[in-house]
Amino acid sequence: MKRGSSLINVLFLSMALFGLLFATSSTWLFQLGLSSRSEAQEGCRRLAEATAQTAVARLLKQNDAQLPDLSLSLPAYPGGTGLLSTDQGRARALGIDNSANNLTGSLGTSAAARWGRVPVPAERACLVAVGRWRGQEQRLEVILHVPEFPYVLGSSVPLKGENLNVFAVASQADLANGIAAVPDDKKEPGHVVTNALDAGPLAAMRLGGLTQVEGDAQSRGSIELTDSVSIKGERRPQAELVPLPDIDFASLDPISRAEKTDITTGSLNQPPPFEGFYRANDNLIISGGLELNGAVIYVNGSVTVAGGIRGKGALIATRDVTVSGDSQFTGDQQAGIVAGGNVQLHGTSGAEYRGLIYTEGNLDVNNIQVAGSVVVNNPAPTGLSQFTDAGLVQTPGAGRLRFPVTSSVPGTPPGMQSVADFGYHAYAWGPAFDVNSGQPWMDIKMKWDPMNYDNPDPALFKIVHPKTPAEPWVEIAAPDSPPADMIGYGKLRIGVCEPGSGALRPGESWQEERSRAASAAAIMNRANAWAGGIDQGMIDAYLDGAEQKVRDLLPEYIRVFNENSRSLGQRGITVTPGTAGYTRTEDWTLDLSTFYNLSDRVRILSWRTI
């Protein structure tokens, strides 16, 4: 009985020990599986991160709308792959979500500007990077925002706001019902910044009333807020200096444009819409509103507008700009005010301005909703940017003005020069009439070819300044080795005239030759056909004189060519001196992004695993 009991005890103990070992090994295997899965997920995450970082780097370097497909591997995760594609078809084939890049706005609302079913607005890129390794997958979402101007308002002087509403929208369509009617769920972060320091006891940024800023409030000095103010982003007092645009007014002056219209009166009452380039050389007062239909108005002084600004165009003044108006004070996205002095915008309830504002004086905005970009670049530390009962809204494309300007050019632009012709004629050769009678029967004249400012003959001239994007004109010099035949610089025109008139005989036309040999043969043939008596020595003597005339006048030809070419290139037109007037359309641009490095403008709105 004891032996049986001992056997049972041994079996029971063995079973318990086996169970313990099984449980231990199962726990170990389970933990091993968890560790392997966790390692695989970490590898996927790193592959996705590396792919997203590569895509962002390429976007910021070249900003191509259609990024090349990315298929990335890392040595630490053999067999793993990071994937990204902005092509919807290829993304489906890879089994991943497509990415979309609309940073430049060039995709508009096309299918390529969709992230799955979600439209991607201008100045945004939505990227989905996928990492795959050991049967696992991780997806990473990155949303970039790169505006031309990184703030709604950038000011060099103190900022004071009372009942100021600051935000951004992703699309112009969000403003369809007016700026004040934008719902809260459409409002995105919009940022304000001042480079001013505190002025004694006064803070550099003072916000009161029902002011609300959806984004950041940044100041080199302190920030003073009343209890009713709401800052939904960061408050950054004592912050670093930020770059601000600094516009060169001389570059905007149309004074050298032949197609500009001069405004010679000091006041305009209810003027018709402006189209083209205008310039006033003194202060200007406009009543009844200002409508811009693709126009640039430059005032060398101050300008006052009663009735508001509408349309596409730019109002530029070297001193103050004052604009007042009621609900008619509206403008679309492509309106611009650029002032060397103070800017005052005073409206009534419901007034709006949509466009860019740049001033090198103080800014006073009262009772107006402003959608666009605002820059106050006042060098005086005692200046002020002041907003009362106003709104500031950042919109896509607000940092760049670009609109077509159509203007009429009244013939050859002023300053263009013509080349002095050779003045080297041969008349009345041959014995058919009295040479001294003054009645020519043959007219031979060496003439320049018309100047070709786009493509001068490289066999005749040396190109010393080819066209470049920055300097779009050609400059020439004499060749290192003069051509053997100088007649090639122009054309020899040969005609047989009616005696006593100098006009061509009936049925005759001018014969033009462009080499010495062809010219000599043509002169001999025509002379012998009509009168005879001309020998080769007479022809050679004439052609020797014509070639010497070319050598004498060539430096002047080159000087005139280069001056005309530079003048035409600086005005962005191509025209031969002496031509009739014409109409042309060009894009006029003022781009605040040119004052910034890309790193100053990029905003990462999202970087998360999905």
Question: Tokens at residue 403, please?
Answer: 């609109």
Helices (H), 462-535: 516-530
**Residue 404: Cβ within 10 Å count:** 11
3-class secondary-structure state, position 60? helix
Question: Tokens at residue 116, please?
Answer: 């799955």
**Residue 432: Cβ within 10 Å count:** 15
Burial 295-330 (b: 16+ CB within 10 A, else e): bbbbbbbbbbbbbbbbbbbbbbbbbbbbbbbeebbb
Dihedral, CA of residue 371, residue 321, residue 319 and residue 354, to nearest 10: 20
State how far the alpha carbon of 307 is from the alpha carbons of 94, 291, 297, 414, in Å: 58, 10, 17, 36
- List beta partners, residue 287: 269, 306
Helices (H), 362-438: none
- pLDDT at residue 420, rounded to an integer: 75
Orientation angle between helical segments 516-530 and 536-571, nearest 10 degrees: 130
Task: Give, for 606, the enclosing helix (H) or strand (E).
Answer: strand 603-609
Burial 365-386 (b: 16+ CB within 10 A, else e): bbbbbbbbbbbbbbeeeebbbb
State how far the alpha carbon of 350 is from the alpha carbons of 42, 174, 177, 358, 447, in Å: 54, 17, 11, 23, 67
Per-10-residue mean pLDDT, the chain, length 610:
53 52 46 70 94 88 73 93 90 90 75 73 88 94 87 96 94 86 92 95 96 96 96 94 93 88 90 92 93 94 92 95 68 79 90 92 95 94 93 88 85 72 61 44 79 88 89 91 90 78 76 92 83 79 88 92 82 60 84 80 84
Q: Is the pTM for the entire model greater than 0.75?
A: no
Which residue in 115, 47, 58, 52 sits closest to 81, CA to CA?
47
Task: Give, for 315, the enclosing helix (H) or strand (E).
Answer: strand 309-317
Which residue is listed with tokens 């605002």?
374
Which residue in 372, 416, 406, 376 sits closest to 391, CA to CA?
372
**Residue 419: Cβ within 10 Å count:** 19
CA atoms within 13 A on the CB side of 211: 24
Distance CA(149)–CA(153), nearest Å, equals: 9
- pLDDT at residue 510, rounded to an integer: 85
Residue 426 backbone dihedrals phi, psi, to 5 degrees: -130, 120
Distance CA(109)–CA(512), nearest Å, equals: 57
3-class secondary-structure state, position 312? strand
Burial 173-194 (b: 16+ CB within 10 A, else e): ebbeeebeebeeeebbbbbbbb
Contacts of 471 (CB under 8 A, 6+ apart): 465, 569
State the first-to-last Cα distance of the chain, in angstroms, to the nearest integer.
68
The residue ranges of every structural domain in the chain are 58-146, 153-406, 425-580
Which residue in 111, 141, 110, 105 sits closest to 124, CA to CA?
105
Pairing of the two strands 70-72 and 81-84: antiparallel
Distance CA(159)–CA(144), nearest Å, equals: 28
Question: Tokens at residue 21, please?
Answer: 């070992």
CA atoms within 13 A on the CB side of 589: 9
Question: Tokens at residue 122, please?
Answer: 């201008």
Which residue in 393, 394, 375, 385 sits closest to 162, CA to CA?
385
3-class secondary-structure state, position 373? strand
- pLDDT at residue 434, rounded to an integer: 38
- pLDDT at residue 245, rounded to an integer: 93
